[in-house]
C-alpha cells in the first residue's frame, strides 16, 4: 500500500503540473478567473474545492504541532491545493519505517 500511495501522490504532482502549465499557456489565471467567476457552477466547484482543502488542513493541524509548520502548510494548501497536499503526504510516507503500517500516517 505504501508503494501505491507513493506512486499515486507522485502522479498527482506530475498531473497537476502538466494541467497547470498547459492551462497557463492557453490563458492566464487572472483572465480565467474573470471569465469564469460569473458561472455559478464555477463558484460551486471553487467552494467545494476549498472546503476540501480546509478539511485536509485540519488533518495537517492534527499532525503538525508547531505554529510555523501549520501556517506554512495552510498557505501552501490554500495557494497550491493538491500541488501542496501530495508532497505533504509523500513526506508523511517517507517518515514511516519499513515495518510501519500505512495506518500510522493517521497518528501523531
pLDDT, one tens digit per residue, over 87-96 is 999 999 999 9
Q: List pLDDT tens digits, range 3-59.
A: 999 999 999 999 999 999 999 999 999 999 999 999 999 999 999 999 999 999 999
> Is residue 106 included in any domain, yes or no?
no
Residue 70 has pLDDT above 90, yes or no: yes
> Is residue 77 included in any domain, yes or no?
yes
Number of domains in the chain: 1
> Is residue 105 included in any domain, yes or no?
no
Q: What is the distance between the alpha carbons of residues 74 and 80, in angstroms, rounded to a whole number?
A: 10
> Is residue 107 included in any domain, yes or no?
no
Return the pLDDT at 87: 98
Return the pLDDT at 89: 97
> Is residue 91 included in any domain, yes or no?
yes
Q: Which long-range contacts (CB under 8 A, 24 or more apart) does 47-52 make?
A: 49/81, 50/78
Return the pLDDT at 108: 85
> Is residue 108 included in any domain, yes or no?
no
Which residue segment(s) compose the domain that 20 sits in?
2-100
Amino acid at each position: 500500500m505504501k508503494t501505491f500511495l507513493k506512486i499515486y501522490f507522485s502522479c498527482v504532482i506530475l498531473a497537476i503540473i502538466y494541467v497547470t502549465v498547459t492551462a497557463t499557456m492557453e490563458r492566464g489565471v487572472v483572465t480565467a478567473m474573470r471569465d469564469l467567476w460569473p458561472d455559478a457552477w464555477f463558484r460551486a466547484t471553487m467552494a467545494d474545492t476549498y472546503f476540501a482543502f480546509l478539511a485536509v488542513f485540519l488533518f495537517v493541524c492534527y499532525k503538525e504541532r508547531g505554529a510555523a509548520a501549520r501556517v506554512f502548510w495552510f498557505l501552501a494548501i490554500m495557494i497550491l491545493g493538491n500541488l501542496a497536499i501530495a508532497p505533504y503526504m509523500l513526506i508523511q510516507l517517507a517518515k514511516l519505517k519499513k515495518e510501519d503500517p500505512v495506518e500510522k500516517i493517521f497518528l501523531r
